[in-house]
Chains A and B, each alone.
Chain A
């Protein structure tokens, strides 16, 4: 368990182990203090957990885009948050039109499905263009080059959409059928949160099926494993990479609509930045390049973010614990990078991939 005890003594290993013990102690003491005080009722914990699971579902859908691209190209597409924004921001106008005509509340499921398809197509187009214009010409260059390009593309997309739709905040209309809560054992769970979680699960299983059970999925796995050999087997590498970007984009656009149903407010050109960073954290947490890892990482991050401030930080007497939600998310990232760089489900990467 303790590396410095088994191997040759090293101050770095010793410090990391001490840090590990301190973190575990802080979590245990904080959680103990909170739970023993009984300040928060079971119903309120369920409130937090359900909200966290829903938020985590959205992180997971975006994280899949990061992980797919990393799996196949070994690059972090930092513009992926903007791909999410592109679908969400564009579809808000369609949602408003559906609401004005009454279609949204007369045929809510069909309307949401159409919105998801539209957002998915917008985001898919943006992702494919991004790959074709910004990343493909740089394939084969040092890994830092596409990374910097991705950051530049991220700003480009933000300000392009600001130019297209303006800088004011927009909001998705509320879907009446999803308002209210279901009572399970006397505990109310909002219907919208159940819907978000289930929709995300359907999309995630859809992706898993696509990758594991179809020919194109097999091609994606082959390209991910070894591009040269896959090419020799007759697989069109460029097409598979473009398809992968498209699939990641579709999931991000879908996440944009699901996010709009879950938290309708705050739709603007900058809305993809924080979810993008959080989804990247989720992808690393689960094991970047690993599809189930991204799903698990997203859900885990959403729940930890929702529960952590009230469970651990408030128990440690830290004031303004709710404001440190992002600190928890990014601390998780740092801890994963220190203690388990391969992530929860990831395996140790080969030298080439690492």
Chain B
């Protein structure tokens, strides 16, 4: 089955070569300039991922998705080898800025997959956009990244796309889950000032209030905080039914572990975000993690099962997080767009218009990806959003995840099946 799938992609590749525009010596009239790929040169694709730091498992996960997408095409496109240049964008704006600067300094890089974190994207977007490149993010969810209205806090710039769901969609769905499924009437939200966590907390609170719930507390912790007792007491004063905590580890571990000792929060439910959707979360939180709900990506289907089998063959273990399918789709969007716009010169070299490449990605419509049918939108505040937002679920952590290394936790709600819409 995998062979048939790969052969199909290989045949599509061959077809693309045969039908790619051929020019004696293509003249570049692209307003953003062109990338010239010599006859024996590789096509250089960048990646800006979390390679080091506490959440490097996310970078490992998405890098695997990118590499498998390239392997599916034999790491070749239009008879040129594809070279992957990986930069560490960390999970900070500075990290994203440095990674983007490195890629932008190389005129042969056609586009990039990344970043993982929304904060890193905020640093990378202006540089990637200014350089004329395309970036497709596999795991950014901050609503501000696809909002071009700078005055309203948006940070979208031309050239930015993503295959992960917009936080507005995720927030809306989680708020619906809290009210309709968990029957929560009051909500508290806690973020850490990061665009990812604050964007999600805002989106959940807005929808929760819109559909009849009461938001009783909205607060934040500092990154690096270990003592959560002050904010937990403040929340306990309001006694919410549910606390939405999209924090990263280890702050999410501290929050959940310390909550068990707080008077007034004995019956309060915790709903965590995808930043804690990792086997290390129950492991590091311990017993207090039992009963916590966490949202995370959920991909299913035959093609995805094949990807998992391929992953096991290639890396000998399961993917460490849930965004590898998004990265796989992001890579295919980029490669498909490259195939569509690259002009094959008579000597076999390629001329790739940068604006043309952006336009080709933006024109993606109903692409059958692993994470759903992808269409890149151009309406504010969703400019560059390509995900249908259905590959999302809520899981409930049990004793098996805490004591028996079981992962992922049992499904509590699958938005692809029941969306509350």
Are A47 and B224 CB-contacts (below 8 A) given A268-B54, A320-B219? Answer: no
- A167 close to B56 (CB less than 8 A): yes
| CB 8 Å contact bits of A181-194 with B (1 = contact, 0 = none) | 10000001010000
Residues of B with C-beta under 8 A to A294: none
Residues of A with C-beta under 8 A to B283: 171
Name the CB-closest residue of A to B228: A322
- B230 close to A325 (CB less than 8 A): yes
Are A310 and B234 CB-contacts (below 8 A) given A48-B229, A171-B253, A323-B220? Answer: yes
Are A306 and B254 CB-contacts (below 8 A) given A41-B264, A44-B263? Answer: no
Q: Does B22 reach chain A (CB closer than 8 Å)?
A: no
Residues of A with C-beta under 8 A to B254: 263, 265-266
CB distance from B218 to the nearest CB of A (A): 10
- B227 close to A265 (CB less than 8 A): no
- How many B residues touch A, CB cutoff 8 Å? 36
- A48 close to B230 (CB less than 8 A): yes
Are A274 and B224 CB-contacts (below 8 A) given A171-B284, A265-B253, A322-B231? Answer: yes
- A47 close to B262 (CB less than 8 A): yes
- A39 close to B286 (CB less than 8 A): no
CB distance from B379 to the nearest CB of A (A): 34
CB distance from A181 to the nearest CB of B (A): 7
- B225 close to A325 (CB less than 8 A): yes
Q: Does B303 reach chain A (CB closer than 8 Å)?
A: no
Name the CB-closest residue of A to B225: A325
- A322 close to B249 (CB less than 8 A): no
CB distance from B350 to the nearest CB of A (A): 39
CB distance from B249 to the nearest CB of A (A): 6
Q: Does A131 reach chain B (CB closer than 8 Å)?
A: no
Q: Does B32 reach chain A (CB closer than 8 Å)?
A: no
Query: What's the count of A-B pairs with C-beta under 8 Å?
Result: 103
Residues of A with C-beta under 8 A to B285: 171, 265
Are A40 and B286 CB-contacts (below 8 A) given A169-B54, A323-B221, A325-B225? Answer: no
| CB 8 Å contact bits of B298-324 with A (1 = contact, 0 = none) | 000000000000000000000000000
Q: Does A326 reach chain B (CB closer than 8 Å)?
A: yes
- A55 close to B284 (CB less than 8 A): no
Name the CB-closest residue of A to B57: A168
Q: Does B211 reach chain A (CB closer than 8 Å)?
A: no
- A232 to B229: give the CA distance in the assembly, Å: 53
Q: Does B380 reach chain A (CB closer than 8 Å)?
A: no
Residues of B with C-beta under 8 A to A323: 220-222
Q: Does A217 reach chain B (CB closer than 8 Å)?
A: no
Residues of A with C-beta under 8 A to B231: 322
CB distance from A37 to the nearest CB of B (A): 10
| CB 8 Å contact bits of B142-165 with A (1 = contact, 0 = none) | 000000000000000000000000
CB distance from A33 to the nearest CB of B (A): 14
Are A314 and B234 CB-contacts (below 8 A) given A263-B226, A305-B227? Answer: yes
- B221 close to A322 (CB less than 8 A): yes
Interface members, chain B 121-146 (any A CB < 8 Å): none
- B230 close to A309 (CB less than 8 A): yes
- How many A residues touch B, CB cutoff 8 Å? 38
Q: Does A43 reach chain B (CB closer than 8 Å)?
A: yes
Q: Does A174 reach chain B (CB closer than 8 Å)?
A: yes
CB distance from A89 to the nearest CB of B (A): 14
Q: Of the candidates B221, B250, B264, which one forms a contact with A266 in the assembled complex, judged by CB atoms under 8 Å apart?
A: B250
Q: Does B233 reach chain A (CB closer than 8 Å)?
A: yes
CB distance from B283 to the nearest CB of A (A): 7
| CB 8 Å contact bits of A136-175 with B (1 = contact, 0 = none) | 0000000000000000000000000000000111110110
Q: Does B367 reach chain A (CB closer than 8 Å)?
A: no
- B261 close to A47 (CB less than 8 A): yes
- A47 close to B233 (CB less than 8 A): yes
Q: Does B236 reach chain A (CB closer than 8 Å)?
A: yes
| CB 8 Å contact bits of B229-260 with A (1 = contact, 0 = none) | 11101101100000000000110011001100
- A309 to B232: give the CA distance in the assembly, Å: 12
Are A55 and B227 CB-contacts (below 8 A) given A44-B262, A47-B262, A167-B52? Answer: yes
- A265 to B287: give the CA distance in the assembly, Å: 13
Residues of B with C-beta under 8 A to A326: 222
Residues of B with C-beta under 8 A to A306: 227, 229-230
- A190 close to B261 (CB less than 8 A): yes
Are A44 and B236 CB-contacts (below 8 A) given A51-B227, A263-B254, A323-B222? Answer: yes
CB distance from A154 to the nearest CB of B (A): 16
- A173 to B237: give the CA distance in the assembly, Å: 31
CB distance from B294 to the nearest CB of A (A): 16
Q: Does B53 reach chain A (CB closer than 8 Å)?
A: yes
- A224 to B231: give the CA distance in the assembly, Å: 43
Residues of B with C-beta under 8 A to A173: 286
- B233 close to A40 (CB less than 8 A): yes
Name the CB-closest residue of A to B285: A265
- A168 close to B264 (CB less than 8 A): no
- A258 to B284: give the CA distance in the assembly, Å: 17
CB distance from B163 to the nearest CB of A (A): 26
Residues of A with C-beta under 8 A to B219: 320, 322
- B227 close to A40 (CB less than 8 A): no
Q: Of the candidates A170, A181, A265, which one forms a contact with B257 in the assembled complex, judged by CB atoms under 8 Å apart?
A: A265
Name the CB-closest residue of A to B255: A265
CB distance from B267 to the nearest CB of A (A): 15
- A12 to B333: give the CA distance in the assembly, Å: 67
Name the CB-closest residue of B to A319: B219
- A179 to B285: give the CA distance in the assembly, Å: 13
- A47 close to B54 (CB less than 8 A): no
CB distance from A281 to the nearest CB of B (A): 15
CB distance from A109 to the nearest CB of B (A): 19
Interface members, chain A 263-317 (any B CB < 8 Å): 263-266, 268, 274, 305-306, 309-310, 314
- A322 close to B263 (CB less than 8 A): no
- A264 to B227: give the CA distance in the assembly, Å: 12
Are A47 and B263 CB-contacts (below 8 A) given A167-B54, A171-B284, A174-B286? Answer: yes
Q: Does A35 reach chain B (CB closer than 8 Å)?
A: no
Residues of B with C-beta under 8 A to A321: 230, 234
Name the CB-closest residue of B to A42: B263
CB distance from A343 to the nearest CB of B (A): 23
- A43 to B286: give the CA distance in the assembly, Å: 25
| Additional 15 contacts, C-beta under 8 A, given A48-B233, A310-B234, A323-B222 | A44-B237, A47-B233, A167-B52, A167-B56, A169-B54, A190-B261, A263-B227, A274-B224, A305-B227, A309-B230, A310-B230, A310-B233, A314-B234, A320-B220, A325-B225
A-B contacts, 9 of them at CB < 8 A, read A39-B237, A51-B227, A52-B229, A263-B227, A265-B226, A265-B284, A266-B254, A306-B227, A323-B221
The 9 closest A-B pairs by CB, nearest first: A322-B230, A266-B250, A265-B253, A171-B284, A322-B231, A43-B263, A51-B229, A174-B286, A265-B250
